Amino acid sequence: VQPVESGGGLVRAGGSLRLSCAAAGSTFDDYAVGWFRQAPGKGREGVACISIDDFTTAYKDAVKGRFTISTNDALNTVYLQMNSLKPEDTAVYYCAAAVEGDYNDCLEPRDLDYWGQGTQVTVSS
């Protein structure tokens, strides 16, 4: 599967953005899909992930209550709704996928195999 991200941009603090991750030419059925981010000078960190098998989700503590991960009925797109954005949310956001059963922690970047090219999110103060 090849994830393709879209929806990044520039937003003021307190604003919202919705990122999309499309499974190019395929679906995410039988995969777990995660959103990750990497700020300048920092390592890549898991933000949110969802199992497409049973729709269970997991979130980084810093985004709980502000970000929501979801999928569409066709299971070919995963969304990250980001509300109450903060300047510290500024980063390149990546979508990644792993086959169900082939990972331990869907928020651990090393556990996911298929990566998109990333989309920039910038939150101004």
Q: What is the per-residue DSSP string for 46-87?
A: EEEEEETTT--EEE-GGGTTTEEEEE-TTSSEEEEEE-S--G
Give the pLDDT confidence score for residue 19 in this predicted structure. Answer: 98
- Other C-beta atoms closer than 10 Å to the C-beta of 56 total 11
Q: What is the pLDDT of residues 7-47, one digit of tens each?
A: 999 999 999 999 999 999 899 999 999 999 999 999 999 99
d(C-alpha 56, C-alpha 99), whole Å: 15
Q: What is the pLDDT of residues 47-105, one digit of tens each?
A: 999 999 999 999 999 999 999 999 999 999 999 999 999 999 999 999 999 999 899 99
